[in-house]
Amino acid sequence: MSSVLQVTDDTFDELVLQAPGVVLVDLWAPWCGPCRQMEPVIEELSRELTGVTVAKLNTDDNPGATASLQITSIPTLLIYSRGELVKTLVGARPKAAIRDALQEYAAV
């Protein structure tokens, strides 16, 4: 069973910006090939990373958050620590690269 949170325009502040720890947000769209390629990696990370909340935001369904975050390319991975954006990864990345990026902010 997946432990990936589905974030929307309405829940982004509560689930990401007000989160007490580290949150990895995957911005994606159903038509995006590289996004679909990243899906199993994100699912695996959500099961493996106990100290990180993993969330997904569908950019097509949530234009408000997408615009306010100034997202111009997907997939984009955002890393938040205690509500503050600390790292942005644009494009499909291997799992090891995402783990390395998170390591600075959480015990992975």
DSSP bridge partners of 77: 26, 89
- Unique residue bearing structure tokens 């994606």: 28
Q: Amino acid identity, residue 92?
A: A
Backbone angles phi, psi at 97, to 5 degrees: -70, -35
Separation CA 3–CA 9 (nearest Å) = 19
The catalytic residue positions are 32, 35
- Unique residue bearing structure tokens 């494009």: 91
Q: β-pairing, 52-58 with 22-28?
A: parallel
